Structure 1
Amino acid sequence: MHTGTHDARAAGARLETFVSRAARYLLGSSLAITPSAASIDPVLESLLSFHPGWITRSVTTHDPAGGNDDGYRPGVALEGEHRVLFHARGEGRITRIWMTAPRAELEKPGQELWIEIDGRTVFRGSHRDFFEGRGLWTSPLALGVDASSGAFTSYVPFAWSSEAKIRFRGVPIYYQVTYREGPGAASGPSSEELAQFMAEDWTRALPAPSRQQAPSPGAPLVLAEGPATVSGLVLHIPAASLKDLEVRIGGQPPVPASFFFGLASASTDSDGGWATFRSALHAAWAPDAGGTGRLATRLPVPLAEGEALSLEVAQGGAIARLEAAVAVAPARRGVRLLAQYRDQTAPGRETTMPLFESDEPLQLVALLKHLSGGLPNDRTYLEGDEMIRTDGMSLPLQIGTGTEDYFNGGFYFLGAHSNAFSGLHRFLVIDPEEGWKRARFVHSLYRLHVADPIVSRSGLRFGIEAGPTGAYTPLQVRSLGLAYTFSDHRVIGEQEVRVQGRRHRVRSAVDAERSEKPRIFRFREGRGITRIEVACPPEARGLLLLRAYSAAKAPQTARVRLDGREVGTIHEMQANPVRSIAEDALWIDLRPGQCGAGRRPVIEVDATGSPEPWSEGGYRLRFFSGPPAPQLTHGPAVEILDTDHLPEGAAYVNDHTTIQLRDGRWMLTGIFNAEGQPPETERVFVLATAPGPGPARWHDAAAPSFSLAPERFSTRALADERWIWAPHVVHDRDGSLVMIFHVGTPDPDRSGFRIARSRDGFTWTREAGTLFEDICVARDPMLVRLGELWVVYYTRCASLASRQSGVAYRTSTDLARWSPPAMALTLGPETAMHNSGHTESPFVFARQGWFYLTITSYPVDYDATFVYRSRSPFSFPPHAVARLRAHAAEWVGEGGSLGAGRLFFTHAGRGKGGVFLQELFGL
């Protein structure tokens, strides 16, 4: 819908163009390797952007006393026949569910798993049906005991905007739920996108190696030099030479090639360490008849100016021959791959063995581990718990129940296996005679944190116990940790905040290693509001709020506000009266100009509604720098659909949508009407098509790409629909197309929203009547998937009492039942109108760790589109970061992805004569 007229000028002082420099490929021994150009899968692309708002955590059945007495203990609550395994509030995303028990327990009848998101049930039924693929999700997302080697494992992504809960009827003796919470934590691929990534044979897209001269001592073979990103690497090498090959990234120490390519094998292994497997990142093929093995990886390796990815010969080694090929994508600014290889023996005391440590802002994406040695017929070293500490916290926010559990197995595994994100692809039994009485074992293990990267803003310590308490010996542990680090974020200050009032003394150890000594901890508790005046440096762009508290009582909940605006929720679901000292954290973004020059933002921690008394030992505020705000500009407009020269006369398209169909063609539909007619007469949606491949081709062709389809219209208004506006079309999980649109009604405060479905994009059928109604001529819906959660954004005022223009959202798990409305954006009192005209045509998309919301404000100018950004898709500060010249902008990316690559927006409107496309620069 629109009502205003006159020009607007786009903000931005210059046009930024993306220039990709060709990477230079050097070599040792006078040899050139020709790279192959390639793109990076969107799931991997997300790892190359920092997500400081994610607080990555787990809730598990680890022993609260720090020993090895893992197993079910009381969780948050008992609700009827169900035990509450997991309960979270605020924004978040479950990334993994793991559970196991003795086989007889798993097969007992009457057990039930119940998963609820934002008050809606997404699964309720047999836990075996859920994990064994008889529900909505199948392998590789959900794995049964045999496939996951001793346990149930799920990577089904469950995102939520306000609350999530997992209940279980029965006794889940061991379980883990890994998740993230905080601003932006709901983002990520849908189950279909993740399943496709996990299942695809990505090795087919890699370049074929050509015969090459091998590196020699002192003469490394340089595969690629930055600025560039290596997006794929293939090697053919004699099996006997693998032990002598190392990989070096920039100036880091080299790492064994067997680990870099996912084999996690040691040079002393009798079989050379080879196995045939394919994970989501690595692949290997056992040596052929000629003794040559193959290795491949699609792990992106960003290289800065002057950095190189090279192959080297280990000290004392020799390599006779080698074939290699690399695929290369554009460079990524400010990100590098950190590879830490360690070769150590178990320390023989109650502690964790450090496997990865860094003080940098990072996202851990993989851990590969090789275990050997050990006592005869004894694998209790697999009982060691992982303990993952972030941001200098004493409390590990991820504490496991055993090494085999961390690697998604159970009961010391059922044998060798490989899955997309985890596996034991080599299990050797040395001296297996006499029922393994003298046997020792070799394990090659991997866990890929692609769907659940472990985020830390100011350092990470990852350790795993050797044995039940860490004291197991002898044991040889070789490991490789891989993480992306980000140079644009740095700690620039810290503020200690002491709480006033009566405080209690508690003597407790931290909930971690059994050897932790108790210490005195002071805290206060109550249900009130704690106000913190923030002394942040002028250049601060974010802060981490760290709380020390007592976890003796749970649940504890507080809403957090910054200068009166909601910025997050802190909710602790699980009590530990044995070791009560605990910590948690929340990330808060700061705007430019919010700090310094005498400004003191105020944080309010509002625990007035906490179920149990809120506990406070004190707070730390850690301040961070960040990259500058984007400078957005756009290129010239290209007409992609002409409606000015139709046989029946000029017409216009307004609020519209584009989507690629299954046959490769693109469809465009939107409001369609003859020029000069009022919006109340808009009763059809136009239907136009264009051939593939998509927006980059439309833009570069500089000519209309869309033409009206023979059907002419996708949808016509029904008798009870006074008008229809603003269709938005997306793919559903079953492959069908879903169109959501506004329906005009006599009462402007009861505007309706409906859905239609299509299998081909041309024939549409209404479904389920009116979804919901809302106020202020609510309109312009935009639909998006976050994991298994549907979110619809639409234009609406803040309330009937305060008609400030805004953007509302609702969530659903089935497109039929919707949550009550909440406001994603509310503008100031000067925007109060009967129809929320300052926030028309909302569109939300994620890119490089941020969410962007664009809206059109016709009272400012018919072509005034404003851009807002936030870490969270559910809360946008009312401060625009850019203004574009466009009306009813819709966004589309190169290759269909808005997360990376070239970015375009389409726009249209009355008097425009068609639909236009422009490229955006600066994101």
Structure 2
Amino acid sequence: MKILLVLVALVLASPAVADEAPVQPWEVWKDPGVVAHVRSGPRTVLSSSVAPDGGRYDRHSEGDSRFVRVVDGEGVIFETQGPGAVTRIWMTQGDGISVDLDPKIRLRVRVDGADDPVIDLSLPEFFGGKIPPFLSPMVLDRRQSGGGNVSYIPLPFRRGCRVSLVNAEKAKIWFQVTAMLLDKPQGIVSFTGLEDLSRWRRMLSQPGTDPWFSGSRETVSGTVVLKPGKAQQLVAFDGPDQITAIVLRVPHRRLGEVIVQLSFDGRTTVDLPLPWFFGIGRPGCLPMQSLFVGMDQGEAYSYFPMPFHSSFALELELSSASAKGLKMDYAVRRMGSAPASDAVLFGARAIDVRASGSGRDAVLLDLVGPGRLAGLAVTAGSTSSAGWDFLEGDETLQVDGEDQPSWRGTGVEDFFGGGFYFRIDSVTPGIFRRALHGMTCIGGTSEQPSMSLYRLMPADGPVFYHSLHFSEEGGPTGEVPVRWRGVAWLYGSNE
């Protein structure tokens, strides 16, 4: 039992050396627990090539510019003043099928008002994974990421940042730049290109492997026999503390019979079928295998940080429809120390949206804050004969009731790290799994296809203080009915 052995071994691990500087909201490699922090100030924004009029073509092209502005011949695709960090850059090019990025186009990044860029590379060099510190899998090219080119290397700045493209004025190019903005620059060291990101690289290189580097203090493990129609408490802890691992070994054919219930401080914030909670997806699909959650070697695992102040409990319930009892193994680990003062409770929310009507966006989440979205895994598909057109829908995230959304995407597959319907070398989409995003299954028919998709957002998830409204357009112009089903992992929502 690979993961259980890792859990036991980690109890003996030496504690990590504490960093002197405060951990920033995107520095997951220093402390995975930072994902659970909802501190005052951070906000996440997205600058993209989305069609401003809601049209089909969410890309920059000659005569249809999506640049913020043009400065000295450079097309600016993101610009801000004040402190923060660019946390994700995504781009793609092609025509029906993704193609390699144009080597004539260069990416330039300037921080803190400097004239000289800290990054000046061709797009293939930036996403190619071979030039330090832009190394794979912190950056991925289209062949590694289902047609998309993605960077998860944080680019922090104290006084501002500008991201621009050179020689792209006549190019067809789709882009997204995500940034987390702060009120104060305390503890931020602006990007130089000399950063040691070896720990972040190691975390992203081994999805399914325990990402917690410091030794936790207690692991409770055992074997239980569940009876049909009955819930059984496996583990209960007093707080304050933080859960850092939950691992369950269940026969694969019976995964769907088990309900997972997690309670923190007397409040049940997870009550979901086991395949939903762990993002495993439909029977017969390749299971999700990501940084914080998924299935590896027959074991469902969660390494999400789960802080609590007074109590924690894990209960499992076997469906009353089950013909017989179920024997299974489990392990739960806690940190053995109180969480940070700004850490909030973990939860998971079912996404179950029946096909929306013509011209109406599908509302995946409508949350009351404060909170932070940590990721989602969904199966989406058209219920009409629109084929793959459902992937043309753009996501919109409205934070704290804002009139103008601070996040408008460019397509479903783009949000999940791919491009051109996840097509790399042919018209057939390619299945892939990466630490923070992937596409694990293709279903349905040629006229009504569906896909299983996931994305974790430990460094780029939106932070909200009053509300978060997450909706998806139905196809390129909102006319395609789309069915959505899955789970969202989040922190702190009061709903």
TM over 0.5: yes
Check the 8 A contact 1:337/1:485 in 2, yes or no: yes
TM-superposed deviation, 1:417: 0.6
1:365–1:184 distance in 2 versus 1, CA, 3 Å: farther
| Aligned 8 A contact 1:53 1:182 in 2 | yes
The equivalent of 1:344 in structure 2 is 353
Cα distance in structure 2, aligned partners of 1:322 and 1:104? 44
Question: Conserved in 1, the CA contact under 8 Å of 2:245 and 2:304?
Answer: yes
Deviation at 1:87, TM superposition (A): 1.6
Corresponding position of 2:253: 240
Report if aligned partners of 1:203, 1:296 keep a CA contact under 8 Å in 2: no
Alignment match of 2:126 (pick from 130, 144, 147): 130
- Aligned mates of 2:79, 2:473 — CA distance in 1: 28
SS across alignment from 2:253: helix
2:315 counterpart residue number: 310
- 2:306 is matched by which residue type in structure 1? V
SS of 2:59 mapped into structure 1: coil
Which residue of 68, 77, 90 maps to 2:69? Answer: 77
User: Structure 1 210/393 Cα, relative in aligned 2: closer, same or farther at 3 Å?
Assistant: same
Q: TM-score, normalised by structure 1?
A: 0.44
Q: Which amino acid in the other structure matches residue 138 of structure 1?
A: L
The C-alpha deviation readout for 1:74-133, integer Å capped at 9, x for no partner, is: 423223442111222111210000111106874545221112222142221210011011
Residue identity over aligned pairs, in percent, reads 25
Query: Is 2:205 the counterpart of 1:199?
Result: yes
TM-aligned CA deviation for residue 197 of structure 1: 2.5
Q: Where does residue 838 of structure 1 map in the other structure?
A: none
Matched, 1:174 2:174: yes
* Distance in 1 separating the partners of 2:117 and 2:435: 28
CA separation in 2, counterparts of 1:356 and 1:124?
38
From the superposition, tell whether residues 202 and 379 of structure 1 become closer, same or farther in structure 2 (CA, over 3 Å).
closer
Aligned to 1:532: none
1:463 aligns with 2:471: yes
**Correspondence 1:259 to 2:276:** yes
Q: Which amino acid in structure 2 is aligned with residue 385 of structure 1?
A: D
Cα 1:215–1:371 shift into 2, 3 Å: farther
Distance 1:309 1:412, change over 3 A: same
Distance 1:75 1:131 in 2: 20
Q: Indicate if the aligned counterparts of 2:242 and 2:308 stay in contact, CA closer than 8 A.
A: yes
CA contact (8 A) 1:58 1:177 kept: yes
Distance 2:354 2:362 in 1: 9
Equivalent residues in 2 for 1:494-893 (5 A)? none
More relative contact order, 1 or 2 (CA 8 Å, 6+ apart): 2
1:4-153 matches, cutoff 5 A: 42-72=30-60, 73-102=65-94, 106-118=100-112, 119=114, 120-136=116-132, 137-153=134-150
User: Structure 1 pair 209/236, CA: closer, same or farther in 2 (3 Å)?
Assistant: farther
**Partner SS, residue 117 of structure 2:** strand
Give, in whole Å, the separation in 1 of the partners of 2:206 and 2:224: 29
Go from structure 1 to structure 2 and tell me whether the alpha carbon gap of 1:410 and 1:105 turns closer, same or farther (over 3 Å shift): closer
C-alpha displacement at 1:341, in angstroms? 0.5
Do 2:381 and 2:450's aligned partners in 1 also have CA atoms closer than 8 Å?
yes
C-alpha separation in 1, matches of 2:318 and 2:300: 17
What does residue 284 of structure 1 align with?
295
Deviation at 1:184, TM superposition (A): 4.5
Which whole-Å CA distance do the structure 1 matches of 2:415 and 2:291 have between them? 17
Partner of 2:440: 425
- In 1, Cα distance between the equivalents of 2:66 and 2:356? 33
TM-score, length-normalised on structure 2? 0.80
Would you say the 8 A contact 2:139–2:153 is kept in 1?
A: yes
Does 2:309 correspond to 1:300? no
- In 2, are the aligned partners of 1:133 and 1:143 still within 8 Å (CA)? yes
Residues 396 and 222 of structure 1: CA distance in aligned 2, closer, same or farther (over 3 Å): farther
SS in 1 for 2:417: coil
The residue aligned with 1:450 is 458
**Structure 1 counterpart of 2:215:** none
2:435 and 2:208 map into 1 onto residues whose CA distance is 12
CA contact under 8 A between 2:36 and 2:344: conserved in structure 1?
yes
Q: Residue 480 in 1 paired to residue 487 in 2?
A: yes
Q: 1:211 to 1:253 in 2, by over 3 A?
A: closer
CA-to-aligned-CA distance 1:261-302 (integer Å, 9 cap, x gap): 122x14xx4x2x4x255311123146xxxxxx3211211223
Name 1:577's counterpart in structure 2. none
- 1:175 deviation in Å? 0.4
Residue 386 of structure 1 aligns to which amino acid in structure 2?
A: E
Aligned to 2:334: 328
CA-to-aligned-CA distance 1:463-508 (integer Å, 9 cap, x gap): 22232233322x4311211111188xxxxxxxxxxxxxxxxxxxxx
Equivalent residues of 1:36, 1:328 under 8 A apart? no
* 1:750-780 deviation per Cα after TM superposition (whole angstroms, max 9, x unaligned): xxxxxxxxxxxxxxxxxxxxxxxxxxxxxxx
Code of the aligned partner of 1:180: M
> What is the count of residue pairs matched by the alignment?
434
Q: CA deviation at 1:316?
A: 3.0
Distance 1:110-1:337 versus aligned 2 partners, 3 A rule: same
1:326-356 Cα offsets, whole Å, 9 max, x none, are 1112343662112110222111232322222
Distance in structure 1 (CA, Å) of the matches to 2:460 and 2:196: 13
Greater C-alpha radius of gyration: 1
Aligned partners of 1:63, 1:361: CA distance in 2, in Å? 30
SS of residue in 2 equivalent to 1:412: helix
Distance 1:205 1:59 in 2: 30
Range 402-411 or range 208-217, more displaced: 208-217
Cα distance in 2, alignment partners of residues 191 and 117 from structure 1: 19
Separation in 2, partners of 1:375, 1:327: 46
What is the root-mean-square deviation of aligned Cα atoms in Å? 2.9
- Structure 1 distance, partners of 2:303, 2:98, is 40
Structure 1 residues 312 and 331 mapped into 2: Cα distance closer, same or farther (>3 Å)?
farther
Shift of 1:306: 4.4
| Map 1:387-426 → 2, pairs under 5 A | 387-414=396-423, 415-426=430-441
Q: 1:312 to 1:184 in 2, by over 3 A?
A: farther
| Change in 2 beyond 3 A, CA 1:426/1:182 | same
SS of 1:278's partner is coil
